[in-house]
Amino acid sequence: MAEEKEVRYDPAVIEPKWQQRWAEDPALYAAEPATSGKRKYYVLEMLPYPSGQLHMGHVRNYSIGDALARHMWMRGCNVLHPMGWDAFGLPAENAALKNNTPPREWTLGNIAAMKRQMQRLGLGYDWATEVTTCLPDYYRWNQWFFLRMYEKGLVYRKQSKVNWCPECATVLANEQVIDGRCWRHEDTIVEQRDLEQWFLRITAYTQELLDGLDALAGWPEKVRTMQRNWIGRSEGTEVDFAVEGSAEKIRVFTTRVDTIFGATSVQLAPEHAIVSSIAAGNPESRAEIDALIEEQKKARESGDLGDIAKRGVPTGRFAVNPYNGQRVPIWVANYILADYGTGAIMSVPGHDERDFEFAAKYGLEVRRVIAPADPGAEAPALPYTSEAGVLVNSGAYDGMSCAAAEKKLQQVAEAGGFGEAKVTYRLKDWGVSRQRYWGTPIPMIHCERDGLVPVPDEQLPVVLPAQVEITQQGGSPLSRVPEFVNTTCPRCGGAARRETDTMDTFVDSSWYFYRYTDARNGSRPFDSGVVRYWFPIDQYIGGVEHAILHLIYSRFWTKVMRDLGLIVNDEPASRLFTQGMVIKDGAKMSKSKGNVVSPDDMVARYGADATRMYALFAAPPDRDLDWQEDGVAGVSRFLGRVWRLAARYAPVAAGARGQKPQPPTGTSLNLLRKLHQTTAKITQDFEGRWHFNTCVAAIMELVNEIQGADAQLASGEVAAPVVRELMITLVLLLAPFAPYLAAELWEQMGEQGAILRSPWPASDPELAKEDELEIPVQINGKLVTVVRVAADAGPREIEAAALADEKVKTRTTGRTVAKIIVVPGRTTNLVVK
RNA sequence: GCGGAGGUGGCGAAAUUGGCAGACGCACCAGCUUGAGGUGCUGGCGCCCUAAUCCGGCAUAGGGGUUCAAGUCCCCUCCUCCGCACCA
* Calpha distance A323→A643 (Å, rounded): 84
> What is the SS3 assignment for A478?
helix
A544 CA vs B45 C1’ separation (Å)? 38
Scanning residues 192 through 221 of protein chain A, those with a beta carbon under 7 Å from any atom of strand B turn out to be 221
Q: At what angle do helices A549-563 and A136-151 cross, to 10 degrees?
A: 60
Scanning residues 233 through 292 of protein chain A, those with a beta carbon under 7 Å from any atom of strand B turn out to be 234, 236, 253-256, 269
* Calpha distance A257→A677 (Å, rounded): 63
Q: Shortest CA–C1' contact from A267: which nucleotide?
A: B88
E-assigned strand segments in A5-117: 40-45, 78-80, 84-85
Asked if residues A224 and A203 have their Cβ atoms less than 8 Å apart, the reply is: no
pLDDT of residue A547: 87
C-alpha atoms less than 13 angstroms from C-alpha of A359 in its C-beta half-sphere: 24
Q: Which residues contact A103 (CB under 8 A, 6 or more apart)?
A: A92, A93, A95, A96, A437, A438, A470
Asked if residues A346 and A257 have their Cβ atoms less than 8 Å apart, the reply is: no
Residues in chain A: 833
Q: For chain A, how many helices (H) and strands (E)?
A: 27, 34
* Calpha distance A401→A421 (Å, rounded): 18
Cα torsion angle, A815, A816, A819, A822, sign: positive
pLDDT of residue A181: 65
Give the helix ranges, DSSP H, for A152-269: 206-215, 221-231
Please tell me what DSSP assigns to residue A537: B
A803 CA vs B59 C1’ separation (Å)? 29
* Calpha distance A307→A552 (Å, rounded): 29
Cβ of residue A818 lies below 7 Å from strand B: no
Q: Kindly report which amino acid residue has its CA closest to the C1' atom of nucleotide B24.
A: A697
Q: Shortest CA–C1' contact from A345: which nucleotide?
A: B88
Verify cis geometry, omega within 30 degrees of 0, for the bond prior to A536.
Answer: yes
A485 CA vs B61 C1’ separation (Å)? 65
Strand B, nucleotides < 7 Å from a protein CB: these are 3-5, 11-16, 19-21, 23-27, 38-42, 68-70, 81-88
E-assigned strand segments in A580-637: 582-584, 587-588, 625-626
Scanning residues 368 through 397 of protein chain A, those with a beta carbon under 7 Å from any atom of strand B turn out to be none
Residue type, A273: A
Q: Kindly report which amino acid residue has its CA closest to the C1' atom of nucleotide B15.
A: A694
> What is the SS3 assignment for A248?
coil
> What is the SS3 assignment for A634?
helix
* Calpha distance A489→A450 (Å, rounded): 8
> What is the SS3 assignment for A241?
strand
* Calpha distance A189→A182 (Å, rounded): 7
Verify cis geometry, omega within 30 degrees of 0, for the bond prior to A461.
Answer: yes
Cβ of residue A310 lies below 7 Å from strand B: yes
Cβ of residue A633 lies below 7 Å from strand B: yes
> What is the SS3 assignment for A598?
coil
* Calpha distance A721→A346 (Å, rounded): 83
Give the residue among A770, A775, A737, A730 at the shortest CA–CA distance from A751: A730
Positions in chain A short of pLDDT 50: 1-4, 303
* Calpha distance A358→A370 (Å, rounded): 19
Residue A22 CA to its chain's centroid (Å) = 31
A712 CA vs B15 C1’ separation (Å)? 32
pLDDT of residue A824: 84
A619 CA vs B77 C1’ separation (Å)? 30
Q: Kindly report which amino acid residue has its CA closest to the C1' atom of nucleotide B88.
A: A254
Q: Give, for A680, the enclosing helix (H) or strand (E).
A: helix A666-684
pLDDT of residue A280: 82
Cβ-in-10-Å burial (0-12, 13-18, 19+) of A688 comes to exposed
Give the residue among A151, A357, A383 at the shortest CA–CA distance from A259: A383
* Calpha distance A523→A642 (Å, rounded): 51
Could you give the C-alpha distances from A540 to A705, A735, A827, in angstroms and in order? 36, 21, 41
Scanning residues 689 through 708 of protein chain A, those with a beta carbon under 7 Å from any atom of strand B turn out to be 689, 691, 693-694, 696-697, 700-701, 704, 707-708
Could you give the C-alpha distances from A262 to A36, A116, A514, A616, A763, in angstroms and in order? 70, 68, 54, 59, 71
A348 CA vs B86 C1’ separation (Å)? 15
A584 CA vs B60 C1’ separation (Å)? 25
Asked if residues A739 and A765 have their Cβ atoms less than 8 Å apart, the reply is: no
Asked if residues A445 and A468 have their Cβ atoms less than 8 Å apart, the reply is: no
CB atoms within 10 A of CB A447: 19
pLDDT in tens, A319-367: 999 999 999 999 999 899 888 999 999 999 999 989 999 999 999 999 9
pLDDT of residue A2: 35
Q: Kindly report which amino acid residue has its CA closest to the C1' atom of nucleotide B4.
A: A222
A646 CA vs B35 C1’ separation (Å)? 26
Asked if residues A325 and A337 have their Cβ atoms less than 8 Å apart, the reply is: no
